[in-house]
Amino acid sequence: MAWSTRLGLVSDRPDNLVRTLTPAHNELLRRDYVTEIQITGRGRDKQVRYVFGQTPVGSHPELAAMLSARGVKHGVAVRLSTVFPERIEEASRRFDQYLKVSGRPVVSRGGLMVAMVQRPEDFATPALGLSPAAPSTPGSPPPQRQTKRREQQDLEAQDTQEEARMAALEGQMLADWTLRQLTLLGIVKRLTLSERGHLPEAVLSGQLDAREVVKHATKAASGGAPAIQLVVEEVQKHLKSSRSFRGESEKD
């Protein structure tokens, strides 16, 4: 199964490989990125064939292009530009500024860009040069207090809507969302194949607080490899306490 090696999935048990891919397959089908997924063959001769649908464009292709240029995957870029069109340009400016002033390498450029769009308040730090741009006209007066209050209320309303959308996720949708976010943020690739396979189950059983882990991973995306590794160890700790994971480890 050369395809599994290219994906970084190594196992002597083909069923484990298929199970690991199931959440991603469900998401591809749900978003019509593929119209059909065919799994044929047995054992190590198992093959996966994808029938692709039309490439999603979205309602703001120019904003999606800005995200893609900064490392965001096309599908994620389309989704973010559709959900948060008003945030993309400012997030792009902050992203570019961060790359200029940061002395640390960015492990996941796409993950950082996604975080800046989803949680803009976490990156509005003057010390990092990420505060909103100053007025372009020299000597122009600062915005009126009422305008600032209205802008703050708008941001709070947007954050509330986003949090409500995330809070509404449950069951398999929450598990799939968690796997997508942790993959994008560079967490999943640091887990073993067995840990990846049990991640959705840990979310479904409540063993893993999915939203908190994703929140920590999003913040860690700008902290480099050490910060990301701490999140990986946190996830591994929860997975090891999972009953099914312990059972499989004992079998091995």
Which of 12-16, 113-117, 152-156, 157-161 ranks highest by mean pLDDT? 113-117
Q: How many CB atoms lie under 10 A from the CB of residue 118?
A: 20
Task: Tell me what pLDDT residue 92 has.
Answer: 92
- CA 214, 218, 224, 225: dihedral to nearest 10 degrees? 10
Residue with the larger pLDDT of the pair 34 and 160: 34
pLDDT confidence band for 66 (50 / 70 / 90) = very high
Task: Tell me what pLDDT residue 129 has.
Answer: 45
Per-residue tokens: 105:
């390498």
Cβ(77)–Cβ(60) below 8 Å:
no
Report the alpha-carbon distance of residue 146 to residue 237 in Å, rounded: 48
Percentage of residues in the chain having pLDDT higher than 90: 7
- pLDDT one-digit tens code per residue, 131-188: 444 444 555 455 555 555 665 555 555 555 666 666 677 888 888 888 888 888 888 8
Strands (DSSP E) found in 206-250: none
Q: Quote the mean pLDDT of the chain.
A: 75
Q: Give how many domains the chain has, as a whole number.
A: 3
Report the alpha-carbon distance of residue 89 to residue 93 in Å, rounded: 6
Q: Is residue 209 part of a domain?
A: yes
Q: Are residues 91 and 117 in the same domain?
A: yes
- pLDDT one-digit tens code per residue, 223-237: 777 888 888 888 888
Q: Are residues 250 and 179 in the same domain?
A: yes
Q: Is residue 208 part of a domain?
A: yes
Mean pLDDT for the stretch of residues 51-56: 69
Mean pLDDT for the stretch of residues 3-10: 61
Structural domain range at position 1: 1-54
Boundary residue ending a domain (15, 34, 54):
54
Q: Which residues contact 136 (CB under 8 A, 6 or more apart)?
A: none
Report the alpha-carbon distance of residue 129 to residue 10 in Å, rounded: 42
Task: Tell me what pLDDT residue 242 has.
Answer: 62
Q: Is residue 3 part of a domain?
A: yes
Residue with the larger pLDDT of the pair 170 and 103: 170
Q: Is residue 145 part of a domain?
A: no
Q: Are residues 35 and 94 in the same domain?
A: no
Task: Tell me what pLDDT residue 131 has.
Answer: 44
Whole-structure pTM value: 0.38
Mean pLDDT for the stretch of residues 113-117: 89
Q: Are residues 95 and 34 in the same domain?
A: no
Q: Are residues 42 and 86 in the same domain?
A: no
